[in-house]
């Protein structure tokens, strides 16, 4: 059985009280499965609740959805990698498409955040993906490679990260890439990583992944797991998704 990572991105949902009852349900329903890791990215206000709630199960982990690159100081509203680590984060989403497209994060800023995560020993999950316009004009691979180069660059061979390929047009829209489409882009990302000395990097797929399409997507050997937003918000549905049987 190949190792798979299931990452739940709660986005701006589930405050501390809701997170506590979510975990109570999830932990009762979900026993560790061989070769499966489940990572939770709650909103920052719920991070400590989730990190503590997961206890010391080695298959479960909490991460932060976004960080600022400075480690402390007069940056009202921002959270640094060391602060997230103090609250129990072990990983960080970096360059999620909503940070890039709703909040205007640039490739350069994504790179600085990735470096800050690494410096604080948070495992970065670097998100890349093209918009519909870029896809329609045949730029998907160029965009994804540019995002990889901007964030990882020469560091690729010396650091450990996870990549999440999330086509922007598939996020929260109910439209998802076909398993073949996803696998094609994953293969290109894999080729880039190999060229840059990071062949053993995990690559997740994200964008409207749900109970109905997870098995078909994960049947593609190129996918090492999924990053899931909407379909991770109900603890029992998420439990079922994480238990998806993979051919
Ligand atoms: P979605 O979000 O599953 O709701 O499309 C995925 C993500 O943005 O990480």
Q: In the prediction, which pLDDT does 2 show?
A: 84
Considering the segment(s) 4-236 as one domain, its CATH architecture is Alpha-Beta Barrel (3.20)
The DSSP bridge partners found for residue 94 are 126
Which atom, in ligand 1's list, is nearest to the CA of 207?
Answer: 5
Q: Look at residue 1 and tell me whether its pLDDT is greater than 90.
A: no
Residue with CA closest to ligand 1 atom 3: 229
- What are the structure tokens assigned to 63, written together? 């991460």
Cβ 235 vs Cβ 25: under 8 Å = yes
Q: Look at residue 124 and tell me whether its pLDDT is greater than 90.
A: yes
Ligand 1 pocket, residue 179 CB under 6 Å: no
- What are the structure tokens assigned to 131, written together? 């918009």
Query: Exposure pattern of 146-159 as b/e (b: 16+ CB <10 Å)?
Result: ebbebbbeeebeee
User: Of how many residues is the chain composed?
Assistant: 247
Ligand 1 pocket, residue 232 CB under 6 Å: no
Which atom, in ligand 1's list, is nearest to the CA of 172?
Answer: 5
In this structure, the number of other CB atoms found within 10 A of the CB of residue 55 comes to 9
Query: What's the mean pLDDT in 1-7?
Result: 92
The Å distance, Cα 77 to ligand 1 centre, comes to 24
Query: What's the mean pLDDT in 179-208?
Result: 95
- What are the structure tokens assigned to 102, written together? 């709703």
The DSSP bridge partners found for residue 201 are none
- What are the structure tokens assigned to 224, written together? 């090492």
Q: In the prediction, which pLDDT does 198 show?
A: 93
In this structure, the number of other CB atoms found within 10 A of the CB of residue 102 comes to 9
Q: In the prediction, which pLDDT does 56 show?
A: 85
pTM of this structure:
0.97
Ligand 1 pocket, residue 228 CB under 6 Å: yes
As annotated, the active-site residues are: 96, 166
**Average predicted confidence (pLDDT) for the chain:** 95
Q: What percent of the chain has pLDDT over 90?
A: 92
Residue with CA closest to ligand 1 atom 7: 229
């Amino acid at each position: 059985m190949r190792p798979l990572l299931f990452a739940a991105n709660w986005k701006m949902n589930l405050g501390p009280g809701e997170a506590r009852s979510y975990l109570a349900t999830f932990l009762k329903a979900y026993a560790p499965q061989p070769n499966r890791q489940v990572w939770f990215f709650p909103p920052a206000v719920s991070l400590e609740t989730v990190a503590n709630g997961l206890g010391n199960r080695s298959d479960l982990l909490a991460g932060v959805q976004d960080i600022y690159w400075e480690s402390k100081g007069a940056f009202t509203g921002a959270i640094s990698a060391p602060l997230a680590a103090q609250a129990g984060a072990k990983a960080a989403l970096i360059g999620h498409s909503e940070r890039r497209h709703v909040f205007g994060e640039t490739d350069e800023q994504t790179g600085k955040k990735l470096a800050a995560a690494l410096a604080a020993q948070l495992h970065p999950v670097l998100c890349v993906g093209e918009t519909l316009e870029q896809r329609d004009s045949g730029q998907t691979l160029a965009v994804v490679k540019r995002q990889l180069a901007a964030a990882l660059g020469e560091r690729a061979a010396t650091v450990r990260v996870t990549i999440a390929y999330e086509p922007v047009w598939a996020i929260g829209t109910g439209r998802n890439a076909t398993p073949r489409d996803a696998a094609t882009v994953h293969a290109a990302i894999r080729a880039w990583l190999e060229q840059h000395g990071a062949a053993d990097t995990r690559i997740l797929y994200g964008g409207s992944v749900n109970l109905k399409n997870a098995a078909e997507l994960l049947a593609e050997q190129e996918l090492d797991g999924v990053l899931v937003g909407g379909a991770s918000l109900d603890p029992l549905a998420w439990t079922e998704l994480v238990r998806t049987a993979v051919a």
